[in-house]
Every structure is written in C-alpha cells, then in structure tokens.
Chain A
Amino acid sequence: MNRFTRFSALALPLLATTAGLAQATDPVPPAVAADLAVSAYVTHIADTTLSPEQVSGLKSIAHQKATAFSCEAFDIDDAKYQEAFAAVYPPAAEFDVKPEADQLKLHSIVMVTLGSYMGSQLTLASMDTAAFCANAEEERADPAAPGLIWAAKP
C-alpha cells in the first residue's frame, strides 16, 4: 500500500464528508491543466496495457529529455537513459507470448505514451523556459530524486 492508498483509505472518506476534496475544476494553473490533459489521454490509451509505474517512468524519461532539449545546462547520460528505458519497456517474454499484431500494439502504446509526454513537456518548457529549467535544477540537486537520466552537471 503506497502513501496515496493509505491516504485514500483513511482520509478521503472523512474529507469527502467534511470539507471535501477540491475539484480540479477549481482554478488550476494552465501548465498543470495542460499536463493533466495529456496524462488523462495517456492513461486512457495505456489502460491495462501498461502499469501505472511504467507510465510514470515513461513520463519521467520524457520530462528529462525535454529538459535536456530546452535547458542549456542539461544533457542526457546515454547509459542512464538506456537503463531507465529498459526498466519500463515491457520485457521480451511479454512480447513473445503475443501475436504479431499485439506485439506491434504494445510497442506502439509505449512509443505513443513517450511521445505524448515529450510533446507536453516540450510545450510546458516553452511556456516559461526559465521557470521550467529552474525547477529542473532543483530536481537535479536533490540526491533522493528517482531515476535521473541527466548527465552530471558540468
């Protein structure tokens, strides 16, 4: 049980009957709203094909690749990238048991997920590049940050 499921089991019923959770129809920053829209689409297409962990891992990769493309001080460490991608790409055994058409579908869903997130992250970076890159600097400076594929700061 992760922190969210613990929170859900314990707090959501209480919150729902008292103050209630805020709906995302409340003012949401435009950049967050755009990101959530893409996340909703990706969740829809990945559905039962990819696990939430795989989708989250692909988003993390896309976010960091978009950062490296958009922010001057960032670059990708190819070895770290390959390791991170291998961790979220379905294993060969999962492909082997599928007909060819389903193998192609699985590969396509991975690539569309990655591509969708790449597009959204590049868009967000272009909306406020300085703030986007400053946030990435904070992420890079955090030793507990998971799955970083950026090269060490020059």
Chain B
Amino acid sequence: MREPDQVFFPADLPGVTCYTRAQQCYRNGHYSARATREVFWN
C-alpha cells in the first residue's frame, strides 16, 4: 500500500511543485525533468 506523499514548493522555482517520497517535480501540472533534477539531483 502506498504511503501518502508530501508536497513542497521550491521558492526559487515559480510554478513548480515537488513531492518528497516520489522525488518528482511538476511545473504547472506537468512533469518537469529539469526541475526534478535541479531539486533532487544537483
């Protein structure tokens, strides 16, 4: 069973929403490879 995720909004990336467990970011409701990489992998 999936556990609930948590969401946060990087202050320097307007319009971006990220999820901590999934480690995925979305810009305006669409998956963003760049934001995901910037937030989680840089």
Query: Known interface pairs A2-B40, A39-B22, A39-B24. Does A24 touch B7 (Cβ–Cβ under 8 Å)?
Result: yes
Contact of B22 among A2, A36, A131, A146 (CB under 8 A): A36
Contact of A60 among B2, B8, B26, B33 (CB under 8 A): B33
| A4–B20 CB distance below 8 A | yes
Q: Which residues of A contact B18 (CB under 8 A)?
A: 4
What is the bound-complex CA distance between A32 and B15, given in angstroms? Answer: 14
- Interface band, chain A: 35 or more
| B30–A131 CB distance below 8 A | yes
| B33–A21 CB distance below 8 A | no
The segment from A51-59, A72-80, A85-93, A97-105 found at the interface with B is A51-59
Other A-B contacts than A26-B7, A39-B22, A132-B30, 11 sampled, CB-CB below 8 A, are A2-B42, A4-B39, A7-B8, A15-B8, A21-B8, A22-B7, A24-B4, A29-B26, A40-B21, A56-B41, A147-B33
Name 16 A/B residue pairs within 8 A (Cβ), A-sorted.
A3-B40, A21-B20, A22-B7, A23-B4, A24-B6, A25-B4, A26-B7, A32-B29, A36-B22, A56-B36, A56-B41, A59-B31, A59-B33, A132-B30, A146-B33, A147-B33
Q: Using a CB–CB distance below 8 Å, which chain A residues touch chain B?
A: 2-4, 7-8, 15, 21-26, 28-29, 31-32, 35-37, 39-40, 43, 52-53, 56, 59-60, 63, 121, 124, 131-132, 135, 138-139, 142, 144-147
